[in-house]
Amino acid sequence: MRLRRMLAVARKEFIHVWRDPRALGVSIALPLVLLLLFGYALTLDVDRVPLAVWDQSRTVESRELASRFENSRYFSVVAHARGYGEIEKAMDHNRILMGLVIPLDFGRRVGSGRDVQVQVLADGSDANTATLAMGYAEAIVRGYSRDIQAARIQRRGGRMPEQPLELRPRAWFNPDMESRIYIVPGLIAVIVMLIASLLTSLTIAREWETGTMEQLISTPVRGPELILGKLAPYFAIGILDTVLSMLAGYVLFEVPLRGSLLLLASMSLLYIVGGLSMGILVSTLAKGQLLASQMAFTATFLPAFLLSGFMFDIENIPKALQVVTYLVPARYFITILRGICLKGTGLPELWPECLLLTAFGAAMLALSVLAFKKRLV
């Protein structure tokens, strides 16, 4: 392999990219657009759940309970119902996700020190939100019940018994429990893999469709020189996209960087090489730009989005698919990103993922070189 021939191919590809400013602009702007779109729109936080309250008691005690829901950051009282029919209608029209039903004898039973039940109705079609919202509602009711018990004991001249067990929760690495801190690093990994494979999925296929492959085959340029030369300009674009995405995550979404920048940069380069090589491999096998882009999208975005641990915990998916996740490189890069950025972990903790990511990059590069043959059939 000669460096001069490889640089000649790289120069040719650089000129082609530079002469198509729209495609170049899209390749740089698209990752930022996707990051902003998904980063702001995709959230696992449950705040301001729309709530309807049916207060049948209409007493001081019932209004106090309703006000606790209204003053909570997790609920927003948008309606005061007068029956189950109104709650059902509002839930059917997606105006509310939860209904609070306070019974008629609530104030009397609370005042007399007797037990009383309140009802919470949740829209179970959104199971995740409903589960979290019901947990918040239970915490509010439990706090209200505890305050009633404390006031009752004080009126009798007693004192609250000490709790034998006290829970003091503390969240490490994300004290405010903001989902974007967890989502954005994974989102960067998904976007980088998608863009890298799409950038190179058209390179070889374009040569076949435009009829210039015959000219390349007739030159003394060898397969490895051609592949590496074509990778060069898109490698530079991939680095730029990754840097811009990381800066956007740090500045706009306040994702910290607590670990080694050198380790992050080296693993990012390997990840980019693997994604670009996968695109070259797809382009070599497809020999058509439309088919190549579709294959690249299917082989990168869907597995990275669904099987990498980005959105769903790998331990919660079926066992058969858990085996498949070991073939998804985004799984390892997401673990590396979250470990370096959020936890400040280094190579001693992340060496298995780093090793597998290195193997992925080397394997994809080798397969793309082996798959390309200098012949017309």
Mark whether 215 and 72 lie in a shared domain.
no
Residue 268, both tokens: 């990012």
Residues 268 and 360 in one domain: yes
Q: Which domain holds residue 350?
A: 3-43+178-371
Radius of gyration of the chain measured on its C-alpha atoms: 29
pLDDT at site 239: 92
| 67 and 109 share one domain | yes
331-366 pLDDT, tens digit per residue, is 999 999 999 999 999 999 999 999 999 999 999 999
Residue 50: helix, strand or coil by DSSP?
strand
The verdict on 212 and 110 lying in the same domain is: no
Same domain, 195 and 128: no
CA 359 to chain centre: 24
What is the percent of the chain where pLDDT is above 90?
32
Quick check: helix, strand or coil at residue 253? coil
What's the number of domains the chain is made of?
Answer: 2
Same domain, 84 and 226: no
Same domain membership, residue 53 and residue 28: no
CA atoms within 13 A on the CB side of 355: 6
Are 79 and 219 part of one and the same domain? no
Is the per-residue pLDDT at 377 higher than 60?
no
Better-predicted residue by pLDDT, 41 or 367 = 367
Q: Which residue has the higher pLDDT, 9 or 96?
A: 96
Q: Which residue has the higher pLDDT, 316 or 246?
A: 246
pLDDT reported for residue 333: 94
Same domain, 39 and 133: no
208 & 345 share domain: yes
Question: Within a domain: residue 203?
Answer: yes
C-alpha 117/C-alpha 19 separation (Å) is 71
Assess whether 53 and 95 both reside in one domain.
yes
Chain CA centroid to CA 151, Å: 46
Please count the helices (runs of H) and the strands (runs of E) in the chain: 15, 4
Per-residue pLDDT band at 205 (split at 50, 70, 90): confident
Separation CA 331–CA 360 (nearest Å): 12
| Pair 322, 201 in one domain | yes
Read off the pLDDT of each residue in 231-260 and give the average, rounded to a whole number: 91
Assess whether pLDDT exceeds 70 at residue 159: no
Cα 191 to Cα 30, 65, 154, 181, 255: the distances in Å are 9, 45, 59, 16, 16
